[in-house]
C-alpha cells in the first residue's frame, strides 16, 4: 500500500508540472522550429540559383554596333543606367546596360562599351547624361566646318554637337535654337579602362533622336579609340577659357554675307562661352539696343537699321554664360559690311 501511494503521488506531480507549462513556451518552441526549417530551405535555394544568375549576366551583354545603328531594345530606366552599388543588385537579372558595367563602384569600367542602348538623354543640374557618339573620323581627325552654328571652316579640332530634344520633338534640350553655340562641354564616358574625359566646343546640333553629345573625330578618338559606337556618358557645361583644341582663331564679331545698310545679322566666333546677350550702346548718341536672336537662322543676332546707317561710334558688349564680358568699340557702319570679321583685339579702343 505504501508503494502504491508513492507511485500515485509521483504521477500526480508529473501531471501538475505538465499543466504548469505556459502557452508562450510552446509558441517559442514552434517559432524556433519554423525558423530552422526556413534557414535550411533558403540555404538550399541559394545554392541552386547561383549558376543561373551568372548565366543571366552572360546573356545580357550587348554586341558592338556602329553609332549610326538603331537599337530596338526597350530603353532602361535612369536607375538602370547607374552602376549597381550592392551585391544583391549585381546578383539580380540585368538589362544590357547594367550588365555592361564591371564591379560595384562607379569607376566607369564596362564591357561592350560601344553598344550602349539608345535612350532619350537626361538633363542634370549642370549638363546631362546619356549617349556619347561621334560624327567625325577617328583616323583623319578633321577640324570643324562650323555645323549648324554657321561658323564656317575653322581650326577647331575639339568640337561636338549637342542634343536638341529630351523626348523626340520637344526641343527642350540645351541646343535651344543655337543658344548653346560656342559653349564648351566637358564630356566623360565609360570605357573598358574606366572613365575617359575630354572638353569640346559646341559647333553643331545632334541629328540623332537619341543623341546626347556627338563628338568630332579627335575627341572621339581620345575616348573610343578605334571602337566607334554609342557609349554611356555624362557631360557638364564649362567655360572655354584656357582649354586647348577648342579655339580656331581669336574672338571676333562676324557679319553674315549679304549684309547691307538695310539688313545685317552677326554672331561671335571663338567666344569664351555660350553667348547670353549682345547689347549695342551708342557713344555719340547714347541710344541702347538689345539685340534679338534670329528665328530660323541659328546663332545669329539682328542689328537695327539705325545702327547700320551711321558712322557713329558704338560699344558692342557681349555677355557670356560664364566669365567677364567682352566689349568692342566700332562704328555702326562696320556691322553693315558683308563677311566682316571684327577681331576683339583690334577693336578695344
Tell me if 225 sits within 8 A of 142, measured CB to CB: no
Is residue 240 classed exposed, middle or buried when 0-12, 13-18 and 19+ CB atoms within 10 A define those classes?
buried
Predicted local confidence at residue 309, as pLDDT: 97
State the maximum Cα–Cα separation within the chain, in Å, rounded to a whole number. 141
What is the value of pTM for the model shown? 0.71
Tell me if 120 sits within 8 A of 75, measured CB to CB: yes
- For the beta carbon of residue 235, count every other beta carbon within 10 angstroms: 28
Predicted local confidence at residue 120, as pLDDT: 95
Give the C-alpha separation, 147 to 181, whole Å: 10
79-84, long-range: CB within 8 Å, 24+ apart, which pairs? 81/119, 81/129, 81/232, 82/106, 83/107
Give the C-alpha separation, 135 to 239, whole Å: 23
Give the C-alpha separation, 268 to 342, whole Å: 9
Beta bridge partners of 327: 317
Give the C-alpha separation, 127 to 305, whole Å: 37
Beta bridge partners of 231: 132
Predicted local confidence at residue 349, as pLDDT: 73
| Ranges of the chain with pLDDT below 70 | 1-105
For residue 328, give the C-alpha cell: 568692342
Q: Which residues of 59-72 are buried (b: 16+ CB within 10 A; e: fewer)?
A: ebebeebebeeebe
Give the C-alpha separation, 313 to 282, whole Å: 6
Q: Are strands 213-215 and 341-343 parallel, antiparallel or unpaired?
A: unpaired
Domains along the chain with CATH numbers:
108-238 (2.40.40.10), 252-346 (2.60.40.760)
Residue showing cell 545669329: 300
**Cβ-proximal residues to 344 (8 Å cutoff; 6+ apart), any chain:** 250, 251, 252, 253, 326, 328
Identify the DSSP state of 188: E
Give me Rg for the CA atoms of the chain.
34
Side-chain half-sphere of 39: how many Cα atoms within 13 Å?
Answer: 6
Predicted local confidence at residue 105, as pLDDT: 67
Tell me if 163 sits within 8 A of 180, measured CB to CB: no
Q: Are strands 341-343 and 326-331 parallel, antiparallel or unpaired?
A: unpaired
Predicted local confidence at residue 23, as pLDDT: 42
Backbone dihedral angles phi then psi of residue 210, each to the nearest 5 degrees: -105, 15
Identify the DSSP state of 339: T
Amino acid at each position: 500500500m505504501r508503494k502504491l501511494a508513492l507511485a500515485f503521488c509521483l504521477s500526480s506531480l508529473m501531471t501538475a508540472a505538465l499543466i504548469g507549462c505556459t502557452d508562450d513556451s510552446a509558441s517559442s518552441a514552434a517559432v524556433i522550429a519554423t525558423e530552422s526549417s526556413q534557414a535550411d530551405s533558403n540555404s538550399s535555394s541559394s545554392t541552386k540559383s547561383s549558376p543561373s544568375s551568372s548565366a543571366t549576366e552572360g546573356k545580357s551583354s550587348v554586341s558592338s554596333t556602329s553609332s549610326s545603328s538603331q537599337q530596338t531594345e526597350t530603353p532602361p530606366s535612369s536607375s538602370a543606367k547607374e552602376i549597381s552599388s550592392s551585391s544583391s543588385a549585381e546578383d539580380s537579372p540585368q538589362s544590357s546596360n547594367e550588365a555592361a558595367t564591371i564591379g560595384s563602384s562607379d569607376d566607369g569600367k564596362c564591357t561592350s562599351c560601344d553598344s550602349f542602348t539608345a535612350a532619350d538623354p537626361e538633363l542634370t543640374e549642370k549638363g546631362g547624361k546619356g549617349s556619347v557618339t561621334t560624327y567625325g573620323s577617328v583616323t583623319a581627325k578633321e577640324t570643324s566646318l562650323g555645323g549648324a552654328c554657321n561658323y564656317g571652316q575653322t581650326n577647331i579640332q575639339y568640337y561636338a554637337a549637342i542634343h536638341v530634344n529630351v523626348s523626340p520633338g520637344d526641343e527642350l534640350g540645351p541646343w535651344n535654337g543655337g543658344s548653346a553655340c560656342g559653349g564648351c562641354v566637358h564630356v566623360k564616358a565609360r570605357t573598358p579602362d574606366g572613365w575617359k574625359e575630354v572638353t569640346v566646343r559646341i559647333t553643331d546640333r545632334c541629328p540623332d533622336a537619341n543623341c546626347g553629345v556627338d563628338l568630332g573625330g579627335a575627341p572621339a578618338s581620345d575616348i573610343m579609340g578605334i571602337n566607334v559606337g554609342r557609349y554611356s556618358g555624362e557631360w557638364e557645361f564649362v567655360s572655354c577659357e584656357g582649354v586647348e583644341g577648342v579655339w580656331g582663331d581669336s574672338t571676333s564679331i562676324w557679319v553674315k554675307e549679304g549684309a547691307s545698310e538695310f539688313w545685317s545679322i552677326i554672331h561671335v566666333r571663338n567666344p569664351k562661352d555660350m553667348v547670353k546677350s549682345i547689347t549695342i550702346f551708342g557713344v555719340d548718341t547714347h541710344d541702347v539696343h538689345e539685340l534679338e536672336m534670329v528665328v530660323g537662322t541659328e546663332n545669329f543676332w539682328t542689328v537695327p537699321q539705325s545702327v547700320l546707317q551711321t558712322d557713329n561710334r558704338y560699344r558692342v558688349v557681349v555677355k557670356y554664360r560664364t566669365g567677364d564680358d567682352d566689349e568692342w568699340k566700332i562704328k555702326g557702319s562696320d556691322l553693315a559690311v558683308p563677311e566682316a570679321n571684327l577681331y576683339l583685339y583690334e577693336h578695344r579702343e
